[in-house]
């Protein structure tokens, strides 16, 4: 504990670091990211060639200016983003943490980044756990505390953690300063649900004050049995489990401070190991443009070779070949990168300006068009699809069901049933059970009392106003206890030893807790053995999933049918049962339980065998409860719209199978027409293949698979699993760890090659969000971690519809159209250059130089071209009303090889037509061919943009007018134009004729095709 400097060097630093660059690596890394693409590398080589005199064609700024501009914009943007990340990291690393000084015996403030393994750390309420700690001591006499784990596992419910008995008994936190102890911990792992370690105390500890409670031997997570080996109840070696661990990034919820020992720091912590580093995301459209640029390079090379071939390979033909390639370099326009990047920036801003999805943030402007190509949506459940707010909707107590409209009637029955002492029987009529021994009032009161007692809920006292609140590891528990309170039975106190409830008549009844059997994903049930302090009656209460409880309760003819009914209504069902125990039976149970709990081999199996032998059989069924997990607003119509849009939705959750199934049904993720296939508890590849074979021919079904089975499928039969699962309209993966969520995302991306979007709201979703092509974070109860890591941040799940179906549609279509026009703009001028060179005996002479070449791609055509980012084919209400329109985007026809070659042919026709007509109509004025052809070229481009617009915006009109005015003014200023010549009527009508002949035929072809084969949206637009 004293060799802090040595431990600082031995273990990873605890600093948080999300920066992508350092001061040294920033420039080389950014340049590498830019020039690893053929597009930018080509322009760098072309620009550098202008330093060679024999290759120099035009002004140096003509080639270097656009390239430098693109690089500066990119570097400024990356620098701004990384500075923001650095500031967030600095704030997190500077968080002060109270560390116990072993020499002074007092706490000193240390930045969290300077924590080292072995430090004793004090954490206060609402403070983030700064590293992975083993809980040594709390101010609660039972050694318990609550933490919020929403940033780790995505669940908003509080988790109970227990201090080690050997250190909990210390008189004060500072008393541990002089104690020599050692923690043996397992190697760093990703598993947040398991931990193996030991605490060894080497020196004597100051004796604590006498405790009012002797060490307990009760079972379960609600108690902490003392280590064996010493008469004082404390052993030098004490085992450490996950119940004793506080993982980094969880938050202390208990009001009093706790003391923990740092076990893992930095990259060794569970939180960091379950988080993937954010990768630089490149959109599919960028990759398509990069592929097209290679084709354009091939076109440039072929065209240059044709020029050399027809010139006869005379002289330094190699130099001429390179000069031709430089002349035709505009075929691959560098302005494409500028226009696409600026267009993406505008699309990102437009998303944030949308008042229909308020507070939406586009944290990246590089991939907004990816929203228009989503085929798989992977969603978290808790806090994303649901609010994690539970409400009791229905209870069944035999042959009578009570709903929201009849709960008041049930409350009156409970008051009647509990009016007398709990040991008495209230004689009324209307017998419910087949034996006819009990009436409705006692049946209802027994069920409500059982729900008020059989749980792991704790009462938390508010420091501000002293009010009481309920906290538990599951929102279901809280909903049941609150409903029992509404029925008249209120929880007044609970600790590890007893429960006290208040009955409707104002009397308080206390029960000793003898044994607790907590809920686990394997058992799917929770039980408790209680003794009534007043009557000394002993009873075993148990509640659990109907699939498990059906075989444990006495025979009945209504349970299965009612469970199915509630499940179809989307309710989470729990069966509640009871067993009365005699003192003799309890004594024999305690004896066997002690033997089982001290077994060195197969301890868990031995304990379960004892419980099964003595308790879990012939239980008296008390009733069935149905709880609804409230869905987020408009989840059902959102999922329906996304499904109609051709998007397949997967739900990845850390929750249990039964809960996930209920939410899948209630949210309509699984429609009534879908059959449900469940794969659970698969342990071998053979079992996995057998289960998957059942789904080979299923097309209209939903697959529900648990985390254990999913791990087997991902490791041993990944291809078979994905081949089957990706065909299904819906898949639900339960008990998923953060790493598994990321693995599923990567697997779908690799297997299908389609665009994957992931959405979540907790820290456990960050890895999945970073792995997806598009990550969406929801700002909600689980904090900001997912929102900050995501590409897009929204405030509720229903906003996803407008984000994808409207903004995604526009971003993709506009970017594709922009790319086509910029490529067309470069191709057409290169074709004109080729025709000009061919006329002049295939000489590598530039047709346009200087300001004409620079102005062509900037002031003359830039604004009309860029105004295409305002265009849209269908209005927002139609895009949302008919989500089927989105399916057309998934085919990728907006920017494909087919559309590219169509625009290539258009460019060849228009370039050739303009140049040939200019030479034909102005054969007597050949010296003015530059001004003639250039004027026709500019007006042709403006006209082509105008003809392509579907819905005009006033800024589009202004851009057209401004470009015409700028060009006309420049004609009077630039030396390339002869003012006396261009003011003639002959120049005017011939220039307009050339423009019309190059554009009108294409317009007529387009209108004819539009009339006989209209696009899918046109009929909708006409009807609305």
Q: Which of 119, 132, 268, 380 is flagged as catalytic?
A: 380
Half-sphere exposure of 317 (CA within 13 A, CB side): 12
How far is the C-alpha of 143 from the C-alpha of 226, rounded, in Å? 12
Among the listed residues 402, 510, 517, 399, the one whose alpha carbon sits nearest the alpha carbon of residue 456:
517
Residue with tokens 């035999």: 398
Per DSSP bridges, beta strands 158-162 and 374-379 are unpaired
Please choose, from the candidates 711, 785, 927, 722, the residue with its C-alpha nearest in 3D space to the C-alpha of residue 148. Answer: 785
Closest CA to 516 of 222, 226, 243, 244: 222
Which secondary structure element, helix H or strand E, spans residue 689, and what is its range? Answer: helix 685-693
| Distance in angstroms (rounded) separating the CA atoms of residues 902 and 268 | 55
- What CA–CA distance (Å, rounded) separates 308 from 842? 7
Sequence-ordered strand ranges (E) for 253-368: 258-264, 361-362
The encoded tokens of residue 426 equal: 């209230």
Element (H, E) at 246: strand 245-246
Sheet-wide strand order for 181-185: 181-185, 197-201, 237-240
In the chain, what are the helix, strand and coil shares in percent, each to the nearest 5? 50, 20, 35
The tokens 């201090």 sit on which residue? 163
Residue 519 near residue 511, CB atoms below 8 Å: no
Region of residue 606 (phi > 0: left; psi between -120 and 50: alpha; otherwise: beta) = alpha
Check if the beta carbon of residue 360 is closer than 8 Å to that of residue 793: yes
Q: Which pair of tokens denotes residue 330?
A: 């505009």
Cβ within 8 Å of residue 158, ≥6 positions away: 146, 147, 148, 253, 471, 472, 473
Report the alpha-carbon distance of residue 463 to residue 126 in Å, rounded.
13
Catalytic residue status for 380: yes
C-alpha distance across the termini of the chain, in Å: 75
State whether residue 324 is helix, strand or coil: helix
> CA 494, CA 463: separation in Å to the nearest integer?
18
**In the sheet that 107-111 helps form, which strands lie side by side, from edge to edge?**
107-111, 96-100, 120-123, 258-264, 132-138, 245-246
Residues taking part in catalysis = 380
């Amino acid at each position: 504990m004293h060799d802090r400097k040595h431990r600082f060097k031995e273990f990873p630093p605890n600093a948080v670091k999300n920066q992508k660059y350092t001061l040294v690596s920033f420039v080389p890394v950014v340049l590498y990211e830019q020039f690893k693409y053929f597009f930018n590398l080509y322009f760098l080589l072309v620009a550098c060639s202008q330093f060679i005199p024999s290759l120099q064609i035009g002004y140096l700024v003509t080639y270097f200016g656009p390239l430098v501009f693109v690089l500066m914009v990119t570097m400024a943007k990356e620098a701004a983003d990384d500075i923001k990340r650095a500031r967030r990291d600095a704030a997190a690393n500077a968080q002060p943490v109270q560390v116990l000084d072993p020499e002074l015996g007092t706490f000193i403030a240390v930045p969290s980044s300077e924590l080292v393994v072995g430090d004793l750390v004090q954490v206060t309420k609402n403070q983030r756990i700064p590293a992975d700690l083993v809980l040594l001591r709390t101010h609660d006499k039972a050694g318990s505390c609550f933490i919020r784990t929403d940033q780790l596992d995505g669940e908003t419910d509080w988790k109970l953690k227990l201090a080690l008995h050997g250190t909990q008994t210390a008189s004060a936190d500072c008393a541990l300063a002089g104690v020599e102890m050692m923690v043996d911990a397992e190697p760093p792992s990703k598993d947040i649900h398991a931990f193996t370690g030991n605490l060894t105390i080497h020196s004597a500890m100051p004796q604590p004050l006498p405790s009012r409670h002797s060490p307990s031997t009760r079972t379960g997570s609600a108690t902490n049995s003392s280590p064996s080996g010493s008469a004082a109840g404390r052993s030098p070696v004490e085992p450490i489990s996950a119940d004793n661990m506080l993982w980094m990034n969880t938050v202390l919820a208990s009001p009093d401070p706790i003391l923990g020992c740092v076990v893992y720091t930095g990259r060794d912590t569970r939180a960091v190991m379950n988080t993937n580093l954010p990768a630089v995301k490149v959109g599919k459209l960028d990759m398509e443009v990069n592929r097209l640029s290679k084709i354009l390079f091939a076109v440039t090379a072929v065209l240059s070779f044709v020029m050399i071939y027809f010139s006869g390979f005379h002289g330094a033909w190699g130099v001429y070949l390179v000069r031709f390639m430089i002349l035709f370099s505009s075929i691959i326009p560098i302005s494409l990168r500028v226009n696409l990047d600026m267009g993406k920036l505008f699309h990102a801003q437009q998303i944030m300006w949308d008042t229909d999805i308020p507070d939406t943030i586009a944290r990246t402007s590089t991939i907004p068009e990816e929203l228009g190509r989503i085929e798989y949506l992977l969603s978290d459940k808790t806090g994303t699809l649901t609010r994690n707010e539970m409400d009791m909707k229905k209870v069944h107590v035999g042959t009578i069901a009570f709903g929201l409209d009849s709960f008041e009637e049930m409350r009156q029955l409970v008051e009647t049933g509990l009016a007398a002492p709990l040991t008495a029987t209230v004689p009324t009529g209307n017998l419910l059970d087949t034996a006819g021994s009990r009436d409705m009032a006692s049946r209802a009161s027994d069920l409500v009392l059982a729900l008020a007692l059989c749980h792991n809920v704790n009462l938390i006292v508010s420091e501000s106003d002293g009010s009481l609140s309920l906290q538990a590891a599951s929102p279901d528990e809280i909903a049941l206890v609150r409903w029992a309170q509404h029925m008249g039975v209120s929880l007044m106190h609970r600790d590890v030893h007893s429960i006290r409830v208040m009955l409707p008549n104002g009397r308080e009844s206390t029960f000793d807790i003898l044994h607790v059997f907590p809920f686990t994903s394997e058992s799917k049930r929770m039980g408790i053995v209680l003794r009534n302090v007043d009557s000394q009656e002993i009873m075993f209460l148990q509640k659990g999933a109907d699939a498990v409880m059906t075989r444990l309760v006495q025979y009945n003819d209504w349970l299965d049918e009612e469970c199915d009914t509630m499940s179809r209504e989307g309710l989470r069902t729990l069966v509640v049962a009871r067993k009365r125990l005699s003192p003799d039976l309890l004594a024999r149970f305690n004896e066997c339980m002690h033997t089982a709990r001290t077994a060195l081999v197969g301890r868990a199996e031995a304990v379960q065998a004892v419980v099964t032998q003595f308790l879990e059989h012939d239980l008296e069924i008390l009733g069935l409860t149905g709880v609804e997990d409230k869905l987020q607003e408009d989840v059902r119509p959102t999922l329906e719209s996304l499904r109609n849009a051709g998007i397949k939705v997967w739900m990845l959750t850390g929750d249990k199978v039964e809960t996930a199934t209920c939410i899948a049904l209630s949210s309509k993720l699984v429609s009534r027409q879908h059959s449900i296939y469940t794969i659970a508890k698969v342990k071998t590849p053979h079992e996995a293949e057998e289960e998957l074979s059942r789904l080979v021919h299923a097309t209209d079904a939903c697959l529900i698979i648990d985390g254990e089975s999913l791990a087997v499928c991902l490791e041993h039969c990944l291809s078979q699993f994905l081949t089957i699962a990706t065909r299904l309209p819906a898949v639900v993966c339960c008990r998923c760890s953060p790493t598994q969520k990321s693995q599923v995302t990567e697997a779908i991306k690799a297997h299908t090659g389609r665009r994957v979007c992931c959405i979540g709201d907790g820290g456990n979703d960050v890895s999945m969000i970073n792995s997806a092509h598009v990550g969406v974070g929801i700002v909600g109860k689980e904090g900001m971690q997912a929102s900050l890591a995501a590409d897009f941040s929204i405030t509720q799940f229903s906003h996803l519809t407008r984000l994808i179906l409207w903004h995604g549609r526009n971003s993709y279509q506009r970017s594709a159209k922009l790319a086509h026009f910029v490529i067309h703009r470069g191709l057409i001028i290169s074709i004109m250059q080729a025709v000009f060179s061919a006329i002049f005996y295939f000489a590598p002479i530039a047709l346009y130089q200087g300001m004409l070449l620079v102005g062509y791609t900037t002031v003359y055509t830039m604004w009309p071209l860029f105004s295409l980012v305002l265009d849209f084919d269908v209005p927002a209400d139609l895009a949302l009303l008919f989500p089927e329109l989105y399916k057309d985007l998934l085919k990728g026809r907006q920017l494909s090889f087919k559309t590219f070659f169509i625009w290539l042919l258009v460019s060849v026709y228009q370039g050739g037509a303009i140049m040939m007509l200019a030479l034909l109509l102005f054969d007597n004025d050949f010296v003015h061919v530059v001004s003639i052809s250039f004027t026709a070229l500019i007006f042709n481009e403006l006209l082509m943009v105008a003809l392509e617009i579907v819905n005009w915006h006033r800024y589009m009109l202004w851009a057209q007018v401004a470009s015409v005015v700028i060009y006309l003014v420049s004609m009077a200023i630039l030396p390339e134009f002869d003012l006396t010549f261009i003011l003639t009527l002959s120049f005017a009508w011939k220039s307009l004729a050339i423009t019309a002949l190059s554009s009108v035929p294409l317009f007529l072809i387009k209108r004819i095709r539009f009339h006989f084969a209209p696009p899918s949206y046109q009929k909708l637009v006409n009807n609305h």
